[in-house]
Amino acid sequence: MPPHTVVIGVDSSTQSTKAAFVDTATGRLLAVGRAPHVVTGEGGARESDPEVWWQALRDAVAAGLKESGVAAADIAGIAVAGQQHGLVVLDGEGRPLRPALLWNDTRSAPQAAALTAALGGPGAWTARTGSVPVAAMTASKWQWLRENEPETAAATAAVRLPHDFLTERLSGRAVTDPGDASGTCWYSTATGAYDPELLALLGLDAALLPEVAASGGERAGSLTRAAADALGLPAGIAVAAGTGDNMSAAVGLGLGGAGLLDHPVLSLGTSGTVFAASRARPASPALSGFAAADGTYLPLACTLNCTLAVDKVAALLGLDRDDAVPGGETVLLPYLDGERTPDLPTASGLLTGLRHDTTPQQLLGAAYEGAVVTVLRALDELLRACGLDPADPEVAGRPLRLIGGGAQGRMWVETVRRLSGRPVTVPGAGELVALGAAALAASAATGADPVAVAAGWDTGADLLLEAVGRDLTAWERVGSVLERAAAPLLGGDRTG
């Protein structure tokens, strides 16, 4: 293999880091190094030490080098795609002042509600940022920090997202991209810049924030000598600005905003997400109007409880994750960490319809159904916000592109097919977040368009599964319980 023909795409997720070594010319996945993260917290708290991410990146790169047999001299570039929304606060030396508040930390729900009201309601926020503050958003977490740990907020010399933190460690430059920045609720997708009025509302000095690159594939800089020594890579290779995990998955799929939701993506991971690239800027309180890594748009809706929640139910029942059948009369909403869509940050799991003859397998199947109906209803909201009717046969007949860990699970795939009634496509490429990051790294190294790079890679044939008859009985049964759970209760408190 000629020198400088391999790039590294890093997927720094909630639970682990993956470093994919990819042949720049063909897109062939040569190896994937892995290293776990540690997440702590109870009662709505979810935190991780950013230094753990840095060590995991080092370990994952070392494992990938060993597995691939690639010489370090052959590496041309590196890019990081990270979990969205996390709040990293640093001192003047670039060291974390406290563990990062993760996207699924729900303690900032009161701050989110107060911020929404302070600007004049959801419509005012979507007009500026494309999104309404919820507990997941970085702005809500910063406000929580100001109110609950004012000394830490006052001592903060830099505010970063998870991928920004790692990119700065690699390149020495404080830089982010439009995609991940759009998940903060202080970056305006309307203007393509930080919003001064929102920063003032948050008491946040723009000088604490990273520069916003034109795209995630822009060269942020070169790998510093210190980072090169830590990673066992050559100093001076290209470091891309990088992006958020969902934006990177869109790049890995070759989605670049050419159309409007022609092939929506459903990602089944710790969270459930639905998104599609678009050149139109939808603004609806029902979804997150994110930017894509290239500055176009990636309208997205996200649920908090997906594979991890269903795996927890399986563990409680002592069952294998695929040892499940349809739930019958039982409905189980697995809102174990609160919920984001619908916005129920203090919710807990809800079980109803239990009978003497209900089996453990049906209970597990009901957990799958609760999670899948929640994410498919989020898809319907996204379609409506973009001017499409979910009931239109032409719209409903378009395949769902299924990605994430759940896309490899038989029960997840079959439940999506049964409850959506749609054809389902499972991409042949694996590790799409890391693959998208690799395309960003290739862009930084060569100047090529990252979406075109990913689209041109031979990453394997997609698997197309034809539509099956839609289980409307289960859909309506779960939906009716979900609607009752999401209705405001007496006194305005909303729980599951």
Report all structural domains of the chain as residue ranges with CATH numbers, in order of start.
Answer: 6-249 (3.30.420.40), 256-426+466-496 (3.30.420.40)
| Token output for 466 | 């034809």
Average pLDDT estimate for 445-450 = 95
DSSP letter string, 361-389: HHHHHHHHHHHHHHHHHHHHHHHHHTT--
Q: Is the pLDDT of residue 494 over 60?
A: no
Q: How confident is the model at residue 488 (pLDDT cuts 50, 70, 90)?
A: low
Of the listed ranges 23-27, 196-200, 331-335, 393-397, the least confidently predicted one is 393-397
Q: Is the pLDDT of residue 363 over 90?
A: yes
**Catalytic member of 164, 180, 245, 380:** 245
Q: Quick one: pLDDT at residue 491?
A: 39
Q: Is the pLDDT of residue 367 over 80?
A: yes
C-beta separation of 99 from 89 below 8 A:
no
Helices 50-68 and 162-171 cross at an angle (nearest 10°) of: 60
Q: How confident is the model at residue 309 (pLDDT cuts 50, 70, 90)?
A: very high
- Report the relative pairing of strands 6-12 and 75-82 from DSSP bridges: parallel
Give the residue among 276, 258, 138 at the shortest CA–CA distance from 202: 138
* Residue scoring higher pLDDT (487 or 390): 390
Annotated binding residue 163: no
Residues 403 and 93: their CA atoms lie apart, in Å, by: 38
Query: In the predicted model, what is the mean pLDDT of the chain?
Result: 92
Residues 423 and 290: their CA atoms lie apart, in Å, by: 26
Burial status of residue 5 (CB atoms within 10 A of its CB: 0-12, 13-18, 19 or more): middle
Q: Quick one: pLDDT at residue 495?
A: 35
Average pLDDT estimate for 30-52 = 95
Q: Is the pLDDT of residue 259 over 70?
A: no
Rg, Å, the chain Cα set: 22
Q: Quick one: pLDDT at residue 24?
A: 95
Residue 195 φ then ψ, to 5°: -95, 115
Q: Is the pLDDT of residue 283 over 90?
A: no
- Report the relative pairing of strands 297-303 and 331-333 from DSSP bridges: unpaired
Q: Is the pLDDT of residue 239 over 90?
A: yes
**CA-to-CA dists, residue 360 to 310, 368, 391, 404, angstroms:** 13, 13, 34, 26
Q: Is the pLDDT of residue 257 over 80?
A: no
Q: Quick one: pLDDT at residue 52?
A: 97
Q: How many C-beta atoms surround the C-beta of residue 455 within 10 A?
A: 17
What amino acid is encoded at 113 in this protein? A
**Percentage of residues in the chain having pLDDT higher than 90:** 79
Q: Quick one: pLDDT at residue 402?
A: 94
The residues pairing with 212 across neighbouring beta strands, listed in sequence order, are 176
Tens of pLDDT along 114-163? 999 999 999 999 999 999 999 999 999 999 999 999 999 999 999 999 99
- 23 tagged catalytic: no
Residues 473 and 491: their CA atoms lie apart, in Å, by: 33
Annotated binding residue 85: yes
Of the listed ranges 29-38, 167-176, 351-360, 379-388, the least confidently predicted one is 379-388
- Report the relative pairing of strands 29-36 and 16-23 from DSSP bridges: antiparallel
Q: Quick one: pLDDT at residue 302?
A: 87
Q: Quick one: pLDDT at residue 383?
A: 86
Give the residue among 48, 17, 58, 6 at the shortest CA–CA distance from 169: 58
Q: Is the pLDDT of residue 421 over 60?
A: yes
| Token output for 308 | 């991890």
Helices 307-317 and 360-385 cross at an angle (nearest 10°) of: 170
**Percentage of residues in the chain having pLDDT higher than 70:** 96
Q: Quick one: pLDDT at residue 342?
A: 87
> 């305006």: which residue's tokens?
188
Three-state DSSP state, 22: strand
Q: How confident is the model at residue 489 (pLDDT cuts 50, 70, 90)?
A: very low
Q: Quick one: pLDDT at residue 415?
A: 98
Q: Within 13 A of 188's CA, how many CA atoms are on the CB side?
A: 14
Three-state DSSP state, 35: strand
Torsion of CA 366, 372, 378, 382, to 10 degrees: -150
Residues 407 and 430: their CA atoms lie apart, in Å, by: 10
Residues 340 and 131: their CA atoms lie apart, in Å, by: 13
Q: Quick one: pLDDT at residue 343?
A: 82
Average pLDDT estimate for 342-367 = 94
| Token output for 33 | 């190094």
Q: Quick one: pLDDT at residue 4?
A: 61
Residue 297 φ then ψ, to 5°: -130, 150
Q: How confident is the model at residue 490 (pLDDT cuts 50, 70, 90)?
A: very low
Q: Quick one: pLDDT at residue 493?
A: 40
